[in-house]
């Protein structure tokens, strides 16, 4: 199982029955195909879709049905369509129970940077800034270190911020962290990963949940 598969397998546990969920572009959209059939959720996309289904099979592709990442999708029975103003009203009005977003950097205080890298072309900030401000719970999923071996879990973000203190939970290929009044806390380790490895690959300071120490 590669790092991305490990992250997705853990992240799917965050989605609970009855939730309205927004999946950010990139890796989070892959969760749409992994939702168990006994879990009834509505997936929302900020371009104006409520009730996104799995990615389409070849004979199901409809170029008019796309998510916020411009990928073709399917729609579950009862799904609905509306303009982006209505979609952002849902987000800003606090009607999204859970937003699962990708990240470039997360700081030890729960700051998130995920919308641009200076000097690289960016089409726009998308809906991430609204989602981190309006969703009831924000979970960020990302690989723990960059391709260059640098920790993406920072003391403070070096890239432009999407939001300050907005992350509730961070899931990486190595561990799960929560952000509490007492600071950043390691609450789970991935299979085969040690506290020593996480500490070595994490720039941020963090506390460790007692249950993790006992395992």
Which active-site residues does the annotation give? 46
CB 44 within 8 A of CB 53: no
CB 118 within 8 A of CB 159: yes
SS3 91: helix
Q: What are phi and psi of 145, to 5 degrees?
A: -125, 155
Q: Whole-angstrom Cα distance, residue 52 to residue 161?
A: 28
| SS3 readout for 16-74 | CCCCEEEECCCHHHHHHHCCCCCCCCEEEECCCEEEECCCCCHHHCCCCCECCCCCECC
């Amino acid at each position: 199982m590669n790092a991305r598969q490990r992250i997705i397998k853990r992240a799917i546990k965050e989605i609970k029955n009855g939730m309205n969920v927004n999946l950010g572009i990139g890796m989070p959209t892959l969760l749409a195909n992994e939702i168990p059939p006994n879990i009834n959720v509505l997936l929302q996309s900020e371009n104006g879709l409520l009730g996104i289904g799995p990615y389409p099979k070849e004979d199901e592709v409809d170029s008019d049905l796309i998510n916020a990442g411009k990928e073709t999708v399917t729609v579950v029975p009862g799904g609905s369509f509306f303009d982006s103003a209505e979609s952002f009203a849902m987000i800003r009005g606090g009607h999204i129970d859970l937003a699962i977003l990708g990240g470039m950097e997360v700081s030890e205080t729960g700051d998130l940077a995920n919308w641009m890298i200076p000097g690289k072309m960016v089409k726009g900030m998308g809906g991430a800034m609204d989602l981190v401000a309006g969703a009831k719970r924000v979970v960020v999923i990302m690989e723990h270190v960059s391709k260059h071996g640098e920790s993406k879990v920072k003391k403070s973000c070096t890239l432009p911020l999407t939001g300050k203190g907005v992350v509730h939970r961070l899931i990486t290929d190595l561990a799960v962290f929560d952000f509490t009044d007492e600071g950043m806390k390691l609450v789970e380790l991935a299979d085969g990963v040690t506290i020593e490895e996480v500490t070595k690959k994490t720039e941020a300071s963090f506390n460790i949940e007692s249950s993790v120490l006992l395992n």
